[in-house]
Amino acid sequence: MVESALVDWSRLQFALTAGYHWIFVPLTLGLAVIVAVMETLYVVKGDEFWKKVTKFWMKLFAINFAVGIATGIILEFEFGTNWSNYSWFVGDIFGAPLAIEGIFAFFMEATFFAVMFFGWEKVSKRVHLAATWLTGIGAAISAVWILVANAWMQHPVGMEFNPDTVRHEMVDFWALVLNPVAISKFFHSVFSGWMTGAIFVIGISCWYLLKKRERRFAMASIRVAAIVGILGTFAVMLSGDSSGVHVAKYQPMKLAAAEGLEQGGERAPFSIVPGVEIPGMLSILATHDLDGYVPGINNLLDGYTTPEGETYPSAEEKIARGKLAIEAFGTYRANKESDPAVAAEARKVLEEHMPYFGYGYIDSREELVPPITLIYWAFRVMVGVGGLLLLMMFLVLWAERRNRLPEMKWLLRAAILAIPLVYIAGQAGWIVAEVGRQPWVIEGLLPVKAAISSVSVGAVQTTFFLFVAIFTLFLAIELRILMKAIQKGPQIENE
């Protein structure tokens, strides 16, 4: 019971930290691009108006960037404090992309951020513009390595288990980097940041229009942000399509849970909401084939055979093979010095059953099913809100181009309300990605309950509530500073 409480509190603390961190990351990614586009217009046109527009949004970018760094640092430390077994088991692999992110991408961001923010009158226009673009590129590169690490947890590749060190060790760095899950996850996350940044800029600009302030500034900002946001949203849809195929291939239980699909098969239906389905659509989305086979939750638990004749074992068989792997590992460790022959035989058994090693820690088939209701609705919130935001951006851009937006009060208010909605959609996406792969920290290799540190439940509870207070304070401070800057405005004379 204590172990269960420790797992739950450790997960809750990590979810809290990751959730807060993701408040700041997408806005950083999106605003970086929008600010760079605005400064490009300034350099190309030579119009001081665009310099003032750029400086205003750059100020908001800097505020968000600073707070995001603080939450990100805490997040990485938690791998050592709360998930030390995980860090030991796969630290050789997982630590590599995090180290590259810290050494290369973070320093790149920090260096060019300083030039971008403080170098307006100290370097030439073109050098400053290059620094602005490189800050955004640095933020994207930083995301690359974080998402490479995360994608490896979803689809582990490029490693071998060493029973002598009790660690997974990297054998193919490029398999890790070019993991198909990492590629689709990178584009999906970065372009969702474009969408977040665009909605943020549009919403604030519409607030100015509602207040009858800064009309030229607001209209110009909306034009740039809407175009970036629309392009980003279409890119999110394309990357989401490839991500769906990868989830179907590498994490079928996540897909089945996200669809509430109990019994799968060919021409599997896509559920819009309970009781409303599109026949065959899930097969198309998951396999790009109307007749594609998609296993359901019961198929995955009971074992199944595809129409092509591929057979997949039941949950009980996987658990049994996992326990054989763990037993063989113990035998190998106990006899590798005293009885090499027994150790060699045990190692063969371990290697044979190693793909199911993590299942040896699972006690029942029910543990292998993630929380279906949460994932099902989180996916629909993500997709549904995303569709509404795309429609809103089209409407705003249409109204701006016809100079009708300032009079459309309902649309201005809708754009302001869209700011919290885009964050809800982003958080829902990560719920699908992370809660959907439960009970695994590393898909199929290491369950959450085997990855935690040997710390007391009380210690995790204490730090959890401490982090709640600290992160809420961070967020309150950022919002206060942002609101003051927004209320003050860019102070550009209306034209």
pLDDT of residue 495: 44
Beta carbons of 32 and 136 less than 8 angstroms apart: yes
* Residue 254 to residue 443: CA distance in whole angstroms: 11
What are the structure tokens assigned to 402, written together? Answer: 């016809």
Q: Given pLDDT bands bounded at 50, 70 and 90, which one contains residue 142?
A: confident
- What tokens were used for 490? 């860019």
Give the model confidence (pLDDT) of 150-175 as tens digits. 999 999 999 999 998 889 899 999 99
Reported as a pLDDT band with limits 50, 70 and 90, residue 110 is confident
% pLDDT > 70, the chain: 99
C-alpha closest to that of 155 among 118, 184, 124, 181: 181
pLDDT of the residue at 133: 94
- In this structure, are strands 293-294 and 265-266 parallel, antiparallel, or unpaired? antiparallel
Instruction: Say what the pLDDT of residue 2 is.
Output: 46
Residue 276 bridge partners (DSSP) = 273
169: β partners: 160
> Mind listing the pLDDT tens digit for each residue in 283-311?
999 999 999 999 999 999 999 999 888 99
Do residues 346 and 338 touch, judged by C-beta distance below 8 A? Answer: no
479, pLDDT greater than 70? yes
445: nearest Cα among 74, 167, 138: 167
Q: φ and ψ at 456, to 5 degrees?
A: -80, 155
8 A C-beta contact, residue 329 and residue 361: no
Give pLDDT, residue 1: 40
Rounded Cα distance between 216 and 429, Å, is 35
The string of pLDDT tens digits covering residues 333-370 is: 999 889 999 999 999 999 999 999 999 999 999 999 99
Report residue 102's pLDDT band, with 50, 70 and 90 as the boundaries.
confident
Question: Contact at 8 Å (CB) between 382 and 162?
Answer: no
- Average pLDDT over every residue of 101-130: 85
Contact 361/322 with Cβ under 8 angstroms?
A: yes
Task: Name residue, tokens 């990868």.
Answer: 246
Least confident range of 13-17, 64-68, 260-264, 332-336: 64-68
Sequence length of the chain is 495
How would residue 117 be classed by pLDDT, with cut points 50, 70 and 90?
confident
Distance of CA 374 to the CA centre of its chain: 17
Mean pLDDT along residues 130-152: 90
Residue 417 CB neighbours (<10 A): 12
- State the first-to-last Cα distance of the chain, in angstroms, to the nearest integer: 67
pLDDT average, residue stretch 250-268 = 94
| C-beta of residue 135 within 8 angstroms of C-beta of residue 34 | no
The pLDDT value given to residue 455: 87
Report d(CA 276, CA 269) in Å as an integer: 10
Write the pLDDT tens digit of every residue in 399-435: 999 999 999 999 999 999 999 999 999 999 999 999 9
Q: Which residues of 375-412 are buried (b: 16+ CB within 10 A; e: fewer)?
A: bbbbbbbbbebbeebbebbebbbebbeeeebbebeebb
pLDDT for residue 493: 60
How much is the average pLDDT of 31-37?
96
β-pairing, 304-305 vs 311-312, is antiparallel
Q: How confident is the model at residue 21 (pLDDT cuts 50, 70, 90)?
A: confident
Whether the per-residue pLDDT at 57 is higher than 60: the answer is: yes
- Mean pLDDT (the chain, rounded): 92
Q: Which of 13-22, 33-42, 207-216, 376-385 has the lowest mean pLDDT?
A: 13-22
